[in-house]
Amino acid sequence: MASRDYSKHQQGIIKRYYDNRESIDGEKLSELVTNLYLSEGKKKEKMWKTAEDIMTRLKIPAERVRHVIASADPSILAEVVKDLQSGALP
């Protein structure tokens, strides 16, 4: 893959994005809870895959991730979000 030369301004934007990635992912996970309640079919399947990826990136214990995904219940995912926001999860 070719390397890119980013301007100083672009480098700053990229750095701030990755510095705040955890909070961005937490917000996305929160939004997914709402969307999962409202969606159906293939779109819902894709959202569950996204939720799994985000939880893995947030270092949620693998056993809990498997439980949430296996249940396919947005209320259980909402509990994970609640735990993240309260600081109960790292």
Q: Is residue 2 part of a domain?
A: no
Q: Is residue 9 part of a domain?
A: no
CA atoms within 13 A on the CB side of 88: 7
pTM given for the model: 0.83
pLDDT tens, residue by residue, 32-76: 999 999 999 999 999 999 999 999 999 999 999 999 999 999 999
Q: Is residue 62 part of a domain?
A: yes
Q: Which residue has the tokens 């990826």?
A: 53
Q: What letter would DSSP give residue 72? A: T
| Structural domain total, the chain | 1
Two tokens, residue 68: 């949430």
Distance CA 38, CA 74 (A): 10
Q: Is residue 5 part of a domain?
A: no
Q: Is residue 8 part of a domain?
A: no
Q: Is residue 7 part of a domain?
A: no
Q: Are 52 and 69 in contact (CB under 8 A)?
A: yes
Range of the structural domain that residue 35 is part of: 21-86
Confidence of residue 89 (pLDDT cuts 50, 70, 90): confident
pLDDT tens, residue by residue, 5-31: 999 999 999 999 999 999 999 999 999
Distance CA 73, CA 37 (A): 9
